[in-house]
Amino acid sequence: MTSSLITSAPRVEPGDDGDRSAAPGRAGGGARAVFRRYSLSPLVKQAPSLLLVVLAIGLSLTVPELVVTSYSGLVISLVVTLIATVWAAVVTARSGTLAAWAMLVPTLDFVALGILRWSTGSSASIFTALLVMPLVWFAAEEGRRHVVYAMLGTALVILTPFVAGLGAGDRITELTRLSVVIIVYGCLAAVINELSRQAGAQLRLSQAREEKVQAEINDAADVQRSLLPGTAFATPGWSMAGACLPSATVGGDFFDWYPTDDGFALTVGDVMGKGVGAGLIAAAVRAAVRSSRRDRDPGTAIVRASEGLSSDLDERAVVFTTLFHARVRGDQLLWADAGHGLTLVIREDGPSERLAATNLPLGLGIDDEWQTHATTLEPGDLVVSFSDGVLDLFGGGLDTFDRITALAQADMRPTAVVDALATLAREQGHDDDVTVLAVRRVPEDGGLPAALPTASGTWSA
């Protein structure tokens, strides 16, 4: 017997995009990473300040009605803003080592705006409102101290002309007026800081929930991995292969094979639902079926699994499992089907047939006897059992079984059938788990491999 196994997966850590090349629609992972890096970078934050300062200076030089008290001050203001922008670019490029110095950028902006206000008529300056840009930058940072920093920067912008002696009229009155302006901007900074704090708390809560969900998905992936056979066993005259490709949300699909006293057993199961719960139920069903390996009747194994599932679940729980279980004994395939109905016998010579479901799924709380059927497998015949995720790969139309049969007939080696379906799943992407098990009676002239290949494991999401 030869065997091949596609299973297992690297654990996905929260915030890790993983390898996006394996599934369609995920090629933009690198672009998203670049966007995350630069969307809130110091350079992006600084760009509006630079544009507004350039616009303010341009208007001051071209509009006669705008007062200019110092042309050299305009130049100095522009130079300081450019220095801040260059530093923002440096911090963005080397965010890992210079991140702590990012706040130097809005500090320089406050200085530049103070000089700009002094150069454009003190109280008559229409550009005082530009200080909102660095104020928001400071106030949005975590910690109440940044409100104080924002107020100090505001005071620098507002009081620079006053200290330079450009204020008109009574200086006490002017100082009082300017102090009120500083307090108003300080209140604005406090509000922004509080909103930022609440947003940060909500973000951390969302991240914690995401980490919890990802941890559950990882746990479910571990459970699902544990359900799959990882070792080969020698059964001359037979070859088999299996694959389980979980979707992004781990579900309860599984397949299994194991030796029995007079041959070997095959199982394909699909638990309703997804996540850790479905994985645990799948584990329980698999264990119950395996515990009946000494029973020659596959229907008996399904009865035991159903009894265990019904007794373990709450009476109000509606969780069922479709299951195909078979025993291969000589040239006979003894099988029982619990609501699965997705197994094909593809003949090397002769018409293919579908092993239809004849009984209800497990876990419905209904006392039932699962009938055992016998099918003769001639040399070269192939048995393919799969989950409903495979149907989705072919559109789920009326010709789905014919298309799967044609795919298998193109190359009836179990490894080829499994690889073809797995490749199709990776190329198309799949919202549901894709599980397939293929077993073939080796043709009399097909020969046997000199040694059993080692089972291999890959993951596709």
Q: Of 361, 345, 354, 397, whose CA–CA distance to 270 is shortest?
A: 361
Q: Which amino acid is at 399?
A: D
Whether 451 has a pLDDT exceeding 50, the answer reads: no
Give 344's strand partners. 354, 384
32-74 pLDDT, tens per residue? 444 444 457 899 999 999 999 999 999 999 998 888 888 999 9
Which residues have CB under 8 Å from 144's CB, separation 6+? 193
**Domains of the chain as residue ranges with CATH:** 40-212 (no CATH), 227-441 (3.60.40.10)
Q: Would you tell me how many other CB atoms lie within 10 Å of the CB of residue 133?
A: 19
Q: Are strands 238-245 and 251-260 parallel, antiparallel or unpaired?
A: unpaired
Residue 260 pLDDT greater than 80, yes or no: yes
pLDDT at 31 (0 to 100): 47
Each residue of 341-383: pLDDT tens digit?
A: 999 999 988 889 999 888 888 877 666 788 999 999 999 999 9
For residue 333, list its beta bridge partners. Answer: 328, 375
What is the DSSP secondary structure assignment for residue 359, as one 8-state letter?
B
**pLDDT tens for each residue of 194-242:** 999 999 899 999 999 999 888 877 777 777 777 778 766 778 889 999 9
Query: What is the pLDDT of the chain when averaged over all its residues?
Result: 81
